[in-house]
């Protein structure tokens, strides 16, 4: 069910929003609805881990003193010599 909503905004904001909506071929109402939907949507606290990611978990064992940034920097240095 759709319901009408009246809001007060600065005139310049409305003009820019209308220009944006027109250039993106979407109604201003849809933009407002999408924004309100995105900020009021219940958040899922837990991210689902896919079976592929689960299967890859623990595949690589690195030394405790392994420095990823240093190793990658060395790799790039060698690559672009």
Higher confidence at residue 28 or residue 66? 28
CB-based contacts of 73, cutoff 8 Å, min separation 6: none
64 token code pair: 């405790």
pTM (whole model) above 0.75: no
Q: What is the pLDDT of residue 29?
A: 93
- ∠19-22-28 over CA atoms, to 5°? 85
Distances (CA, A) of 35 to 30, 41, 77: 8, 10, 45
Tell me the pLDDT tens digit for each residue of 19-42: 999 999 999 999 999 999 988 887
Place of tokens 């690559």: 79
């Amino acid at each position: 069910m759709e319901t009408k909503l009246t809001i007060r905004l600065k005139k310049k904001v409305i003009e820019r929003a209308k220009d944006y909506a027109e250039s993106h071929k979407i109604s201003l109402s849809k933009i407002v609805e999408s924004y309100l939907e995105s900020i009021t949507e219940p958040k899922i606290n837990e991210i689902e881990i896919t079976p592929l990611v689960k299967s890859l978990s623990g595949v690589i064992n690195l030394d405790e003193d392994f420095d990823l940034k240093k190793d990658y920097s060395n790799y790039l240095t060698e690559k672009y010599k």
